[in-house]
A and B are shown apart, each in its own frame.
Chain A
Amino acid sequence: MDEFKLTCPVPLPAGDRILLAHGGGGKLTNQLIDNVFGPAFSNPALDARHDGAAVTVGGARLAFTTDGYVVRPLIFPGGNIGDLAVNGTVNDLAMCGARPLYLSAAFILEEGLQMETLRTVVASMKKAADAAGVALVTGDTKVVDRGSADKMFVTTAGVGLIEDGRAISPQAVQPGDAVIVSGDLGAHGVAVLSVREGLAFETEIESDTAPLWEPVQALFAAGIEVHCLRDLTRGGLASALNEIAAARGVGIAIEELGIPVREAVRGACELLGLDPLYVANEGRFVAFVPAAEAERAVDVLHALSVTRGATVAGCVIAEDPGLVVLESRIGGRRVVDMLSGEQLPRIC
């Protein structure tokens, strides 16, 4: 047999256009923020890079956040773009330790959208807002030509009040802190995928979209010293932990057996070749508390339905700064890196 040509082509990286991966919540999203948005707008509140910004106005400490919602399909098992938008914004505020108070919503509607669909979404938003104890106080509507928007996009902003001088942020995280996951992972991502064209499957799984202020407040009320909170959205648990490890310069060690995943979510992930650590959630968060308070914190969370599956997934360590390391169920270890972009179904 002939000698092999041991060469490999050098692919040219496409750097001049936005890719879907830039919206995946992983590395490319962070690069976009690092390279485009961050430098342009830099200020202390923004540079803290938390879910929401903490600002002081008069004597009050406020949390302020914004989000865009582009989920496809608009309506999926367990929710729709509307309650996703309300809960997502409420949760960003809750993750700052703020009581959510007021929301705004701007709608970009595609010409030809069914009025019925809009009514359904709006009704869900009202229901979600009531459940979360917030009021939608202002809004906007734009309509674009058919083909210029995928039926409907919703952008929200939210304002909340940070009480008692709390400082919830990655900077407060300490080596030794327990990492608590508020419940089982991956339901939202699987629910949305199950109705996505080309992948459709039957499942009982519904999105886990839910407001999270109640459990956060319960932790505060119980006197738990909460260092950091982060809700798990795109990019899953893996992205959230990586962001915090990088922001604070600590390592995070987690155990595969400490990560709760429902059977059906597992089944879907196995089928499509997805890792639940990277699948999106909409009603789950991770909390960093001192090790000594972990058990009590988990008990507090168990008393509420939305966090009844809370468990300790791992701990913060001083070694391996910036890395998230997982001990697998068979006792081996691996790094849990942030993905570049979206996690795609695979056959390989």
Chain B
Amino acid sequence: MCLAIPGKIAEITEGAEPAFRHGKVDFAGVKKEISLAFTPDAVIGDYVLVHAGFALNTVDEDEAHKIFEHLELMAELEEAAGDAP
């Protein structure tokens, strides 16, 4: 369950109330009108996770990188261990 895809906010239209906030989100060149009712603080350029026409959250780019930093570190450690006499 729960197919949600990250897309980049390209345009935002503020509604009369937060519930009507919506925008165009770009998925690798495909744009769709998405409700931003649940991401009131998201701005143009942010990546949001979109499910059934609604943005559920912004993607935290720092958190997203953590695993790759960890893996890089592990790889370096292994190399160093391999090089050690």
Residues of A in contact with B (beta carbons under 8 Å apart): 194, 201-205, 263-264, 266-268, 270-271, 273, 346-348
Chain A proximity mask over B1-12: 1 for CB below 8 Å, otherwise 0? 111010100000
Q: Output the least CB separation between A262 and chain B (Å).
A: 8
CB-CB under 8 A for A267 and B28, given A347-B51, A347-B52: yes
Tell me whether A203 and B29 are in contact (CB under 8 A): yes
Tell me whether B52 and A264 are in contact (CB under 8 A): no
Instruction: Choose among B7, B24, B27, B51 the residue with the greatest number of A CB atoms under 10 Å from its CB.
Output: B27
Q: Output the least CB separation between A174 and chain B (Å).
A: 38
Cβ-closest chain A residue relative to B31? A202
- Considering the chains assembled together, what is the distance between the CA atoms of A52 and B31 in angstroms? 39
Q: Output the least CB separation between A326 and chain B (Å).
A: 20
Q: Which of B3, B29, B30 contacts A273 (CB 8 A)?
A: B3
Q: A268-B27, A270-B5 are in contact. List 7 more A-B contacts (CB 8 A).
A: A202-B30, A205-B30, A263-B28, A267-B30, A270-B27, A270-B28, A348-B3
CB-CB under 8 A for A266 and B28, given A271-B50, A347-B51, A347-B52: yes
- Considering the chains assembled together, what is the distance between the CA atoms of A273 and B50 in angstroms? 12
Q: Output the least CB separation between B28 and chain A (Å).
A: 3
Measured as residues with beta carbon below 8 angstroms from the partner, the interface class of chain B is: 10 to 19
Residues of chain A lying within 8 A (CB to CB) of residue B50? 271
CB-CB under 8 A for A271 and B27, given A201-B32, A202-B32, A347-B51: yes
Which 6 pairs of residues, A with B, have the shortest CB-CB distance?
A: A267-B28, A264-B29, A267-B27, A267-B30, A202-B31, A201-B32
Residues of chain A lying within 8 A (CB to CB) of residue B31? 201-203
Tell me whether B29 and A267 are in contact (CB under 8 A): yes
Residues of chain A lying within 8 A (CB to CB) of residue B30? 194, 201-203, 205, 264, 267-268, 271
- Considering the chains assembled together, what is the distance between the CA atoms of A317 and B41 in angstroms? 54
Q: Output the least CB separation between A339 and chain B (Å).
A: 18
Cβ-closest chain A residue relative to B24? A202
- Considering the chains assembled together, what is the distance between the CA atoms of A117 and B25 in angstroms? 33
- Considering the chains assembled together, what is the distance between the CA atoms of A270 and B5 in angstroms? 7
Residues of chain B lying within 8 A (CB to CB) of residue A273? 3
Interface residues of B in 11-69 (CB under 8 A from A): 24, 27-32, 50-52
List 29 interface pairs A-B (beta carbons < 8 Å), by A numbering: A194-B30, A201-B30, A202-B24, A202-B32, A203-B29, A203-B30, A204-B29, A263-B28, A263-B29, A264-B30, A266-B28, A267-B7, A267-B28, A268-B27, A268-B30, A270-B5, A270-B27, A271-B5, A271-B7, A271-B32, A271-B50, A273-B3, A346-B3, A347-B1, A347-B2, A347-B3, A347-B51, A348-B2, A348-B3
- Considering the chains assembled together, what is the distance between the CA atoms of A202 and B10 in angstroms? 12
- Considering the chains assembled together, what is the distance between the CA atoms of A117 and B69 in angstroms? 57
Cβ-closest chain B residue relative to A348? B1
Q: Output the least CB separation between A166 and chain B (Å).
A: 40
Residues of chain B lying within 8 A (CB to CB) of residue A266? 28
Cβ-closest chain B residue relative to A203? B30
Cβ-closest chain A residue relative to B6? A270
Cβ-closest chain A residue relative to B29? A264
- Considering the chains assembled together, what is the distance between the CA atoms of A273 and B27 in angstroms? 13
- Considering the chains assembled together, what is the distance between the CA atoms of A263 and B30 in angstroms? 9
Residues of chain B lying within 8 A (CB to CB) of residue A270? 5, 27-28
- Considering the chains assembled together, what is the distance between the CA atoms of A346 and B2 in angstroms? 9
Residues of chain B lying within 8 A (CB to CB) of residue A267? 7, 27-30
Residues of chain A lying within 8 A (CB to CB) of residue B7? 267, 271
Residues of chain A lying within 8 A (CB to CB) of residue B2? 347-348
Cβ-closest chain A residue relative to B5? A270
Residues of chain B lying within 8 A (CB to CB) of residue A194? 30
- Considering the chains assembled together, what is the distance between the CA atoms of A273 and B31 in angstroms? 15
Tell me whether B28 and A264 are in contact (CB under 8 A): yes
Residues of chain A lying within 8 A (CB to CB) of residue B1? 347-348
- Considering the chains assembled together, what is the distance between the CA atoms of A266 and B1 in angstroms? 20
- Considering the chains assembled together, what is the distance between the CA atoms of A266 and B29 in angstroms? 9
Residues of chain A lying within 8 A (CB to CB) of residue B27? 267-268, 270-271
